[in-house]
Amino acid sequence: MATVLQLAPLLLALSVIARLAWTYLLPNGANFVDLHVYLGGAGALNTPGTLYDYVYADQTPDFPLPFTYPPFAAVIFYPLTLLPFGVVALGWTLGIMAGLYGLVWLSQRILGVDGGHRSAMAFTAVGIWTEPLRSTFDYGQINVLMVLLVLAAVYCTRDWLAGLAVGVAAGIKLTPAIAVLYLLGVKRWRAALWAILALAGTVALSIAVIGQQARHYFTDLLGDAGRVGPIGTSFNQSWRGALSRILGHDAGYTAPVLIAVAATAVLAWLAWRALASDAGEPDRLGLVLVVALLGLLVSPISWTHHWVWLIPLLVWLLQGPYRYLGEARALGAGWLVLILIGVPWLLSFAQPSIWETGRPWYLAWAGLIYPAATVVTLGWIAALRLRFPGGKRSCQYRAP
């Protein structure tokens, strides 16, 4: 371990160089389709009333990509439309790398890890090549920033600033709004209120700037998963996506999906109780991870790049309060292997079309991989309360 930490700066430099070479030297190293959507949608503000009519199809003729984000996102992205796309794409790529390092560093600070910057460098060097980050780089996605803002809220002791981080993140992309459950669960009432107010502020600002298109989003388009993409593709690792592949059609929120969602919610509640009842210091990272994993499974669509939360999960399993348990190390190793291989990505080569939900049973069940691994992880966390009844279960961190 000491040798790895000593080599961490070199490993990170090589990893960054290799990723940039992959992006810019290989024919299909990156297409930045989502970044094109961000900027294209923002650019549509120049023509009033066209924001949610915009679609990007230059590289995706079989799947024209509409602007599906809250109107505040278009306002935030608009200044980037004034720059050449190539400049924005390079800055975005470097920003993802810096953000990845930031979320690892924040995860360690929340845990109280005092291993210096080398440990964060090592995690970042490896994290660049995991499936959630590979797809983030390929598409030019924004999820690293979303996770970073939520972790900043967890780390920050000032309620107004923590709430502002969550509210702004939710204003750009709705999924971080589930972090309000974390704030309520740890009884940070003022931070939760600030988050709601900040989100409301983003809505008010977007209506003031954009007008009718902003109102159209919140009254007509909000919650329409059909605009986001094909539910049944292997890249969708939510319960709805996984069960749709098994059933052979979009399961919607019918009984099988609702049962899975309800069972996951109960399991997440038990996992929360297990961590919250520890006699030691509150496990803030573990608690927010329970909420994030729940959100990933109950969302109608959780693309593989939404699963950036698996990087803080690895930090928690391998460096957190339960790292001395063999099960924690085994889960950490299992998740690491899983996301380095990229099973949903491999399965995508076997699906005839992203729009076809039906497939052979063995491919359908294999596509259950992220939900199944998440259930195992939450179940293990929940079982900690039974394994260590009535006492302090975690251990204090000692620097390597």
Question: 3-state SS string over 167-224?
Answer: HHHHHHCCHHHHHHHHHHHCCCHHHHHHHHHHHHHHHHHHHHHHCHHHHHHHHHHCCC
Tokens of 95: 């920003």
- pLDDT value at residue 331: 97
Tokens of 120: 């964060």
Q: Bigger pLDDT: 269 or 57?
A: 269
Q: Label residue 10 exposed, middle or buried (CB < 10 Å: 0-12, 13-18, 19+).
A: exposed
Q: Bigger pLDDT: 230 or 328?
A: 328
Dist CA 178 CA 185 (whole Å): 11
Mean pLDDT of 49-74: 85
Tell me the per-residue pLDDT of 322-371, one tens digit each, with 9 for 90 and over.
999 999 999 999 999 999 999 999 998 887 777 788 888 889 899 999 99
Give the chain's domain count.
1
Tokens of 115: 């291993």
Cα–Cα nearest to 89, from 135, 41, 34: 34
Dist CA 337 CA 221 (whole Å): 38
- pLDDT value at residue 215: 87
The contacts found for 395-400 with CB under 8 angstroms, 24 or more apart, are 395/321, 395/323, 395/324, 397/111, 397/112, 397/113, 397/114, 397/319, 397/321, 399/113, 399/114, 399/115, 399/116, 400/1, 400/2, 400/5, 400/115, 400/119
Q: Is residue 393 part of a domain?
A: yes
Q: Is residue 155 part of a domain?
A: no
- pLDDT higher than 60, residue 392: no
Q: Is residue 352 part of a domain?
A: yes
Tokens of 306: 């939404």
Which residues span the domain enclosing 245? 231-400
Q: Is residue 360 part of a domain?
A: yes
- pLDDT value at residue 280: 66
- pLDDT higher than 80, residue 400: no
Give 222-235 as a DSSP string: TT-GGGT--TTSTT
Q: Is residue 350 part of a domain?
A: yes
Which secondary structure element, helix H or strand E, spans residue 23, and what is its range? Answer: helix 2-25
pTM over 0.85: yes
Q: Is residue 386 part of a domain?
A: yes
- pLDDT higher than 80, residue 74: yes
Q: Is residue 270 part of a domain?
A: yes
Beta strands in 7-88 (DSSP E): 55-56, 65-66
Dist CA 40 CA 228 (whole Å): 16
Tell me the per-residue pLDDT of 92-131, one tens digit each, with 9 for 90 and over.
999 999 999 999 999 999 998 876 788 999 999 999 999 9
Residue 105 three-state SS:
helix
- pLDDT higher than 80, residue 393: no
Residue 236 three-state SS:
strand
Dist CA 135 CA 196 (whole Å): 30
Query: Which range is least confidently modeled, 64-68, 179-183, 201-205?
Result: 64-68
Q: Is residue 334 part of a domain?
A: yes
